[in-house]
Amino acid sequence: MAVAATLALVSCGDTPTGPSGPKPGGTVTGRYLLQIQPSATCAPSAGPVSFPLDVTQAGTNPHPGVQLTLDGADPGLLELELKYTDFTLEGGFGTTGDGVVSNESLRVWVNAIGTGQVTQASDGRGEVLSGSLRGSLEVEGTNPCTATNHSFTLRTR
C-alpha cells in the first residue's frame, strides 16, 4: 500500500512547486510584478504596493545581472540594478526624488538594497517569492521609514 502511494506521487511529475518545494534558478527576463511590503515597524504602517516591471539581462562581467525598469510611460522613475549569482538577486532599488506611483495609486519613494532567492516559475523563468529589503521606504500618507526588514516579491506576469 505504501509503495503504491509512493508510486502515485512520483507519477504526478516533478513540478517546480512540487512536494520538495520550488526549484532554484531560472532566467530572470521579461515582464514581472514587483510588490514591496513596508516593515511592520513603520508607523503608520502601509500595505503592500506593486509595480509592473520589464526585466532585461545586464552584463556578464564581473557578475551577471539584470536591470528592472518600470513598465510604462516613464521607466526611469523606478529602477533596480541587481546582480544574479548562485540563484540570488541582490542590489539597489531606487526611485527619483519625485517618487513613483504604484498600482495602488500611492506615490512611493525607495532607496534600498534587496536580496532574494530565485526559484523557477511554471514557465521556467526565475522569480523571487520572498525577498528582504533594507533601507529607506516611504509610501504616500505615511512617514519615511528606514528598516532592515522591509520585504519584496518579484513574480512573473
pLDDT(37) > 80: yes
Residue 144 pLDDT level (bands cut at 50, 70, 90)? very high
46-85: per-residue pLDDT in tens?
Answer: 899 999 999 998 877 778 899 999 998 687 899 899 999 9
Cis peptide before 19 (omega within 30 of 0): no
Q: Cell match 504596493: residue?
A: 49
- Which pLDDT score, from 0 to 100, does residue 59 have? 76
Inform me whether the pLDDT recorded for 18 exceeds 50.
Answer: yes
Q: What is the pLDDT of residue 55?
A: 94
Domain boundary assignment for the chain: 23-156
Fold of 23-156: Lipocalin (2.40.128)
Residue among 19, 14, 37 nearest 128 (CA): 37
pTM: 0.84
Do residues 132 and 154 touch, judged by C-beta distance below 8 A?
Answer: no
Q: How far apart are CA 80 and CA 144, in angstroms?
A: 20
Could you tell me if residue 10 is left (phi over 0), alpha (psi between -120 and 50 degrees) or otherwise beta? alpha
